[in-house]
Amino acid sequence: MKRILFCLILLATPALPQASGPLMTKEEILGFLKARIGSDPWRHPNKPQTIAELAGIIGARGVNFRLSSMDAYMTDLINAGANESTIKFYIDANYGPPAQYAYYFSTWEMFVTGAPTYKVVGNRAYRVNETGGLSGTLRIDPNGTYQWKPGPKDSETSGRWRQATVQELKIGYQGGAGIVLPNSYTGQDWIVTKRDLVGQHEEMITVAVVNSRGQRHLGTRKK
Question: Could you list the mean pLDDT of each consecutive 10-residue stretch along the chain, which spans 223 residues?
Answer: 44 57 96 94 93 96 90 91 90 95 96 65 60 80 97 91 97 96 95 83 91 87 89
Q: What is the pTM of this model?
A: 0.81
Do 213 and 106 belong together in one domain? yes
Which residue among 44, 62, 93 closes a domain? 93
The pLDDT score that the predictor gives to residue 135 is: 79
The pLDDT score that the predictor gives to residue 13 is: 44
Query: Read out DSSP for 99-146?
Result: P-GGGG-EEEEEEEEPPPEEEEETTEEEEEPP-EEEEEEEEE-TTSEE
Do 106 and 210 belong together in one domain? yes
Do 129 and 56 belong together in one domain? no
Question: How many independent structural domains does the chain possess?
Answer: 2
- For 89, the domain range is 2-93
| Cβ(149)–Cβ(158) below 8 Å | no
| Cβ(33)–Cβ(81) below 8 Å | yes
Per-residue pLDDT tens over the stretch 152-162 = 888 999 999 99
The pLDDT score that the predictor gives to residue 160 is: 98
The pLDDT score that the predictor gives to residue 152 is: 83
Do 73 and 134 belong together in one domain? no
